[in-house]
Amino acid sequence: MVKYVTTPIYYVNDVPHIGHAYTTILCDMFKRYQTLKGNECLLLTGTDEHGQKIENSAKSRNKTPKEYADEVSFKFQNLWNKFDIAYDYFVRTTNEAHDSGVKKAFEEMYKNGDIYKGHYEGNYCISCETFFTKRQLIDNRFCPDCKKETSPLKEESYFFRLSKYEKKLLDWYKENPNIIMPLHKRNEVIKFIEGGLSDLSITRSGFKWGVSLPPFIDDSRHIIYVWLDALLSYITPLGYGNDIPNKMYLFNDATHFVGKDILRFHAIYWPAFLMSLNLPLPKQIYAHGWWTIEGVKMSKSIGNVVNPDDIVNAYGLEVMRYFLIREVPFGQDGDFSHKALVDRANSDLSDTLGNLVNRLLGMSEKYFDLNLESESFDYLKNEIEQVSQIIKSLESYMINMMPHKYLEELWKIFDIANVSIAKYAPWEMMKSDKTDEVQALLVFISNILSKGALLLYPILPHTAREMMKCLKVDFSSYNKLIENDELLNKFSLTKIPPLFPKLEVQNISTAEEKSDLKDKVSIDQFSKLDIRVGRVIEALEVKNSNKLLMLKIDFGANVGVKQIVSGIAKYYSPNELQDMLVCAIINLKPTKLMGILSEGMVLSAEDSEGALRLISVDDIEAGSKVG
C-alpha cells in the first residue's frame, strides 16, 4: 500500500525556525526510509494561513492577510526546496481547492447531524487559536498551553458534536494501541478523552479571515474555525471536496508527525472529524518534543529564534539533519546549542565516518590502485557476525520511531571497521606480504560502508549518495546487502573529497543582532523594538544586591507576564511599584542578572545626579504599544 506522511502545516505568522525544520526533516526521513525499502510514500507539507492571529499580524504590517500569507508561505516553500525536502504536496489553506474541500466537509458533517448552532461562552487564546473553558485556564485567565492571557468570548457559534465520539475514540485507541507514539503520549490522550469531551465550537464570528460557511447554510456572519480548516488540509490536496484528481486512497495509510503541543488536535478532533465524514482514520501519529535554545524557550519576543538557514549556511545541511535526529530521543524535549552540534559533528561525522572513508581510500589506492577483490573473509568472521546483528536490529528502531537509536546502533558498524583497522594493522600485514588478508579487510570495510551508505540514506541523503558514488553501489543493492545480509567481493573505488571536514563553533547573530544599531537607526530598525506598557504585578528585592529589583510585569493578552530585572532598587521600594504602569522593551535578548533571568528592559530617565525615574503612563491598557 502506498504510504502518506504529513508535516503539520505551518502558521504564516512566523518565519521558519529550527522547530519547523525538525518536523519537516523527520517526515523527509520517514519518506526516504520507505523509499529505500521499496515502498512508495508521498509527503505533504504546507502553510496554515487563516485565523485571527494572521489577520492581526498582517494588519500590524500594513498588509492584506493574503499578501502577508503569500510572502511567508513562499519563505517556507523556498526553504524546503533549498533543504531538498522530498515533498510531493505543498498545500496552502488559502487555495481555492482547499476552500471548497473545507466547505464540503462542513456540509457533510452538518448533513450527518454532527453540527448544530448554539452559543459559545468561554475564553479564547488567540496565540493558540484555541477555546478553553474556565476550568481549563490557569488562574481563570491564562492559557494552559502557551500561558498567555486569554480573552473572554461569548458568541453565537456552530458546534461539532465531539461528545458523541467519546466512546468511539476510546474504542479505536483500545483496538489500535500503537497509533500514538511515544506510548506515554497515548496515555495522556486517553486520559483527556476519559475526562469527558465537550462539543467543539467550530465557527468564529469576530473576524473575517477564514473559510466561509457553505452557501446552503446561508449565514455569512460566521467563518470556519481555523483548526477544522487546517486539519482538512491533509485531504483536500488528495481531491476531497474539489476537482483535483482523486487520490483519497493515499489516506488509507496516513502517518502524521506533530509537535506535542498539537497532539490533542490530531489525536482527538481530527479522528472525530474523520469518523463523522466516514473516512479512514490515520494509521500513525508520531508526537515529537520541543527544542529549547541554549536552555531557553525559543520565542520571538525573547529574540532567540534559530533560523535553520543560518545553521545550514554555517555548518551544512547534513550536519544539521544529523544533529537534530541524533541528539535527542524522539518524543523528548531537546536543547539546541552550537557547541553540542559541533561536538557531535566532529566526533561522529568527521572522526568516525569521514575518517573511515579516508582511510579506506588511502590504503586501497596505495596498495591496490583502488581495485579490491577478495573472498577470504574467514579471519573476520566475528566482525562480520557483529555487523549482521546490528543491521538486523535497525528496522525496529525506525518502526518504533527511535531514529536516534537507529543512528547510535548504525555508528557501531563504522566503529567495528575502525577498530578492525587498528587491530589488524594492514600496514604491518603488507610488510609481511599478507596481501590477501589486507585485501579481505578492505573489501570488508567497503561492505560496511556500502551497507552504511544505504542505511544512512533516510537521514543523510547527500552523504549516502556521495559514499555510494565512491563505492560504486546503488539502491538496487539494497536487497542483497541489507535484506539478504550478503557481502560483495569486488570493489572498484572512486576517490571523493573528504566527508565532513572538522567544524568550529560559528558566531551566528540572531535576526535581531543582524540589524546594525551602531550606526544611525532607520524607522524600520526602530520599529523592531517592541516597547510596551505593562502593569507591575510583583516586585521583589534581589538577594545580595542593593541595586536590583526583580519585577513581574503583565503585558496584556498577547504577550503575557514577563520577568524583568532592573537596577532601580536605590530609587524605588517594591511596594511603591505594585500596580504601576511602566514602559519596557520586551524583545531584547534575554539575559541573566545575578543569576536571575531578565526578559526585557524597563525604561527610565536619569537626572543630572544619576537618579533614575521610571517612565510611566496614565491609564492605558497593559500591552499597549509605545512608539
240 binds ligand MSP (CB under 6 A): no
Name the residue nearer to ligand MSP (CB basis): 20 or 562: 20
Q: Is 237 exposed, middle or buried (0-12, 13-18, 19+ CB in 10 A)?
A: buried
Asked if 259 is part of the footprint of ligand MSP (rule: CB under 6 A), the reply reads yes
- Residue 213: all three cell numbers together: 460557511
Cβ neighbours, 10 Å, residue 156: 14
Contact flag: residue 261 with ligand MSP (CB under 6 A): yes
Kindly state the smallest distance separating residue 233's Cβ from ligand MSP, in Å: 6
User: Any idea of the CA torsion for 536, 540, 542, 544, to the nearest 10 degrees?
Assistant: 150
Nearest distance in Å: CB 124, ligand MSP: 16
Q: Is 257 helix (H, G, I), strand (E, B) or coil?
A: strand
CA distance 103 to 216: 10
Residue range at the interface with ligand MSP (CB under 6 A); choices 32-40, 259-267, 368-376, 482-490? 259-267
Q: How far is the CB of 302 from ligand MSP (least distance, A)?
A: 12
User: Whole-angstrom Cα distance, residue 399 to residue 393?
Assistant: 11
Residue nearest ligand MSP, CB atom distance: 259
- Tell me the one-letter amino acid at 619: D
- Length in residues, the chain: 627
Say whether residue 453 binds ligand MSP (CB under 6 A): no
Q: Which is nearer to ligand MSP, 233 or 301 (CB)?
A: 233
* 298 is an interface residue for ligand MSP by CB under 6 A: yes
Cell numbers 500514538 correspond to 180
Q: Is 409 in the site for ligand MSP (CB under 6 A)?
A: no
* Closest CB to ligand MSP among residues 43, 565: 43
CA 151/CA 464 separation, integer angstroms = 51
* Closer by beta carbon to ligand MSP, 344 or else 469: 344
Smallest distance, ligand MSP to C-beta of residue 583, A: 29
- Report the run of H or E that residue 31 belongs to, with start and end: helix 18-36
Positive or negative torsion for Cα 332, 337, 341, 344: negative
Which residue, 290 or 571, is less far from ligand MSP as judged by CB? 290
Q: Hey, how many other C-beta atoms are within 10 angstroms of the C-beta on 259?
A: 17
User: What is d(CA 106, CA 115) in angstroms, rounded to the nearest whole number?
Assistant: 8
The least CB distance from residue 270 to ligand MSP, in Å, is 8
| Residue with Cβ nearer ligand MSP (10 or 414) | 10
Of 17 and 103, CB closest to ligand MSP = 17
- 8 A C-beta contact, residue 305 and residue 511: yes
Quick one: which segment of 70-78, 101-109, 229-237, 440-448 binds ligand MSP (CB under 6 A)? 229-237
- Examine residue 311 and tell whether it contacts ligand MSP (CB under 6 A): no
Residue type, 185: K
Smallest distance from ligand MSP to CB 497, Å = 33
What are the residues facing 534 on neighbouring strands?
582
Told to check if 23 binds ligand MSP by CB under 6 A, we report yes
Closest separation between CB of residue 8 and ligand MSP, Å?
Answer: 4
Residue 61 to residue 13: CA distance in whole angstroms: 11
Candidate list 11, 87, 106, 131; residue touching ligand MSP; CB under 6 A? 11
Instruction: Identify the CA nearest to 348 among candidates 512, 486, 500, 451.
Output: 500
- The DSSP bridge partners found for residue 119 are 156
Based on the shown chain and the rule CB under 6 A, indicate whether residue 258 belongs to the binding site for ligand MSP: yes
By the rule CB under 6 A, 230 interacts with ligand MSP: yes
Q: How far apart are CA 319 and CA 414, in angstroms?
A: 17
Stretch that binds ligand MSP, among 94-102, 217-225, 258-266, 337-345 (CB under 6 A): 258-266
Size of the site for ligand MSP (CB under 6 A): 20
Residue 349: DSSP 8-state = I
**Judged by CB under 6 A, which stretch of 13-21, 215-223, 309-317, 470-478 contacts ligand MSP?**
13-21
Enclosing H/E stretch for 537? strand 531-541
Per-position x/- string for 176-215, each x denoting binding to ligand MSP as judged by CB under 6 A, each - no binding: ----------------------------------------
Contact between 360 and ligand MSP (CB under 6 A)? no
- Residues 6+ positions from 178 with CB-CB distance below 8 Å: 284
Helical ranges in 61-139 per DSSP H: 65-82, 96-111
According to the binding rule CB under 6 A, does residue 8 interact with ligand MSP? yes
d(CA 384, CA 540): 65
**Cell digits for 347?**
566526533
Q: Which is nearer to ligand MSP, 130 or 150 (CB)?
A: 130
Residue closer to ligand MSP (CB basis): 18 or 468: 18
Indicate the DSSP class of residue 212.
B
Is residue 19 involved in binding ligand MSP (CB under 6 A)?
Answer: yes
Residues paired with 44 in a beta bridge: 6, 89
Between 16 and 600, CB nearer to ligand MSP: 16
When asked if residue 9 is in the footprint of ligand MSP (CB under 6 A), the reply is yes
Compute the least distance from the CB of residue 561 to ligand MSP, in Å: 20
Q: Are strands 291-293 and 334-336 parallel, antiparallel or unpaired?
A: parallel
Q: Taking contact as CB under 6 A, which single stretch among the options 6-14, 55-63, 75-83, 174-182 is the one that binds ligand MSP?
A: 6-14
Tell me which stretch binds ligand MSP (CB under 6 A): 255-263, 346-354, 427-435, 610-618: 255-263
Q: How far is the CB of 282 from ligand MSP (least distance, A)?
A: 12
C-alpha dist (Å) from residue 294 to 34, 72, 288, 341, 514: 34, 26, 19, 11, 19
Residue from the set 291, 397, 414, 500 that interacts with ligand MSP by CB under 6 A: 291
CB 599 within 8 A of CB 302: yes
* Contact pick of 192, 207, 290, 571 for ligand MSP (by CB under 6 A): 290
Q: Pick between residue 290 and residue 475 the one whose CB is nearest to ligand MSP.
A: 290
Distances 615 to 418, 580, 582, 585 between C-alpha atoms, Å:
65, 10, 6, 12
Residue written as cell 516553500? 77
| Grid coordinates belonging to 11 | 502558521
DSSP conformational letter for 618: S
* Cβ neighbours of 523 (radius 10 Å): 7
Q: Is 452 in the site for ligand MSP (CB under 6 A)?
A: no
CA gap 250, 236 in Å, rounded:
12
> Least distance to ligand MSP from the beta carbon of 403, Å?
15
Going by DSSP bridges, is the β-strand pair 254-259/3-6 parallel, antiparallel, or unpaired? parallel
**Residue 20 binding ligand MSP, by CB under 6 A:** yes
- Among positions 43-62, residues that touch ligand MSP (CB under 6 A) are 48
**Is 314 one of the binding residues for ligand MSP (CB under 6 A)?**
no
- Minimum CB distance to ligand MSP, residue 285 (Å): 11
Binding site for ligand MSP (CB under 6 A): 8-11, 14, 19-20, 22-23, 48, 230-231, 233, 258-259, 261-262, 290-291, 298
